[in-house]
Chains A and B, each alone.
Chain A
């Protein structure tokens, strides 16, 4: 008799690898990626809107003028010129940044991992929005935290819940939030809530991680000051060029206090020595021409606004009574809440069969909540496809409602 082990290292893996498993949802996404499926699932930026001839020109320029530097290892913190550009980008949103406080990372996603690495010991409590960005949950998850989920309403994080938790004696290592057009909920934290949050965290001595990938993608309304500008000392700010330029260059950053910066650089160097010199130079060059980057960004904002409008219109037209959804003023996502009986994860198979896909809400909660929620992304599909996709989804949800009623006898 033989015991067959498919994976002979199975007893060697770390505990943190336990959650890295195959899943039905991933299997369905493999089908959802087919062109005949209208995917409202992935948050892929609309890179086709980038002026490709200009990108090619910039890339050529970089390799021609600075080939030796571009093809060599670079600075662990990121090139000084790029950090200056990124400081300039942050100033667009009222964040005053010293380039010395910036650490360039491989997308803001790496910054999340590095934050987890330097702040979280196994079992530590961290406060996250509920729902929260799934990539943050997986990045932090590798460091085995416990979660303190703080719910959202139309004004963003319900800070009172955090306050009550602190009164109860809970003490999170940090508070993580995406305050502008958050992923997945698409809501923006109000000014009052921001003041309330920074005051509470300052008094309690709990750092805030402000993740702001979408801030410059505002379609309407007045920008709300960043948390970092409200309390520079207690907020670690994360940014990215993935939404304003290209996710393919993988350039993100963290802005923090010198003591944190030092640890982030050491952690970053331990992870990958330095970011891609070529991509850092390319990004720096891209943002050196103000007309170019602003023109591109404005074009993107216009495109996303039209797509958002298309989605909100289609939802009005096709979703059954009882469905609620957010009205994002920017960003990529609409968050749909169905009545309690809906299991969005179970329904995904039927949705993919009808050639439409979304992300089931449970992915965005650390505790299994969100079964009746769906995240819909309007960033990538054309307006026509958005209409068709939402129409397919609406028909399916109506049938599901009918099925539910019939099961009630």
Chain B
């Protein structure tokens, strides 16, 4: 599988632009080292369709994050252009990326996920849904977590301890997305479960211990702000239930090729799936490459594996 022409799509116009470019450069360098003809394309810099017609790739590596890159938009465009790409197909991307949809899919599939309520921006504006906010809170309870339905890297997410702070948190989340999720706060160990290829090809579980207590944007992208343990310090039995929940989530959401599922494990050992990422970070501080490394897989081998997975789809 050498000598392919691969366009690495990275950058874009989302707040994760910088993260995407950092990962994209890293991937491009590795693909070149693997003997491919790889180049980086930033859709914020060039007209993507023209760029892909000009220098026709055999494969697009999707290193974009957030809307545009993970919500199925670019995947649909590439389907139309008949260019194959890494990772999950368009419709499944849409499911996984939108927490409003993803959480329903998970619940229907019997995958544990914290109870939640959806607050739609338009329903607030046009239907007076603000009046139902207290009802939402009665169901979810305090403390709770408020997050945008469609955003990555914990952007726009906040923990709410007091009822008075809920409205502000919802407004903050709605700045990133048309809908907000108010989710029950589960206290426990944060775990990132990555896979390459299919759901059966799990990477070691990564345990996340943010030094500031919260795994927010700063804790994710400041080297040293978070401690990681690989494999996670879980009992073998608990680790297996986490892997089981992860597999079910990956299958329910139709994720393929590469992905990461974020899970919380309570003190009793019960896993709860928070979200799934179809385009996990590839920077030096990212979880998936870390897990791969713990499994004895170099970054280049990881890249190679992801490309091969595309052909098995």
Give residues in A with beta carbon < 8 Å to B: 1-7, 9-10, 13, 20-24, 27-28, 30-31, 34, 36, 341, 343, 346-350, 352, 399-400, 402-404, 406-409
Contacts and interface: CB of A to CB of B under 8 A. Distances in A.
Given A403-B121, A403-B125, 16 more contacts: A4-B293, A6-B226, A13-B224, A21-B218, A24-B155, A27-B18, A27-B153, A30-B17, A31-B15, A343-B171, A346-B168, A348-B175, A349-B15, A349-B155, A403-B174, A407-B170
In the complex, which of the residues A7, A24, A343 has the most CB atoms of chain B within 10 Å of its own CB atom? A24
B167 interface: yes
Contacts of B16: 27
Contact of B129 (A10, A34, A347, A406): A406
Contact of B224 (A7, A27, A341): A7
Interface of B: 13-19, 44, 121, 124-125, 128-131, 133-134, 153, 155-156, 167-168, 170-172, 174-176, 206, 217-218, 220-231, 233, 284-285, 290, 293-294
Contact of B222 (A2, A22, A408): A22
B229 A21 contact: no
A24 B148 CA distance: 14
A21 B214 CA distance: 14
Contacts of B134: 409
A2 B285 contact: no
Contacts of B125: 399, 402-403, 406
A24 B290 CA distance: 23
A74 to B, nearest CB: 36
Nearest to A23: B218
Nearest to A351: B175
B220 A346 contact: no
> Which of A23, A349, A400, A404 counts the most B-chain CB atoms under 10 A from its CB?
A349
A34 B15 CA distance: 12
Given A28-B15, A343-B171, A349-B155, A3 B222 contact: no
27 contacts: A1-B229, A6-B226, A6-B285, A6-B290, A7-B224, A13-B224, A21-B218, A21-B222, A22-B217, A22-B218, A24-B155, A27-B16, A27-B18, A27-B153, A27-B155, A30-B18, A346-B171, A348-B175, A349-B15, A349-B175, A350-B175, A403-B171, A403-B174, A407-B171, A408-B130, A409-B131, A409-B133
Contacts of A6: 223-224, 226, 228, 284-285, 290
A349 B133 contact: no
Nearest to A400: B171
B230 A2 contact: yes
Contacts of A406: 124-125, 128-130
A70 to B, nearest CB: 36
Contacts of B226: 6
Contacts of A348: 175
B285 to A, nearest CB: 5
A27 B17 contact: yes
Contact of B130 (A22, A27, A352, A409): A409
Contacts, number: 119
Contact of A346 (B172, B223, B233): B172
Most buried by A among B220, B224, B229, B233: B224
Contact of B230 (A1, A10, A30, A352): A1
B167 to A, nearest CB: 4
Contact of B175 (A3, A4, A7, A346): A346
B13 A10 contact: no
Nearest to A10: B224
B212 to A, nearest CB: 9
A400 B15 CA distance: 20
B231 A1 contact: yes
Contacts of B15: 24, 27-28, 30-31, 349, 352
A397 B225 CA distance: 34
Contacts of B224: 5-7, 9-10, 13
A23 B217 contact: yes
A36 B17 CA distance: 15
Contact of A407 (B17, B167, B176): B167
Given A3-B229, A403-B121, A406-B129, A27 B217 contact: yes
A48 to B, nearest CB: 22
Contacts of B233: 1
Which of B44, B133, B223 has most A Cβ within 10 Å?
Answer: B223
A145 B225 CA distance: 23
Nearest to B173: A346
Given A10-B223, A31-B13, A343-B172, A407 B229 contact: no
A352 B44 CA distance: 14
A279 B134 CA distance: 62
A343 B165 CA distance: 12
Contacts of B130: 406-409
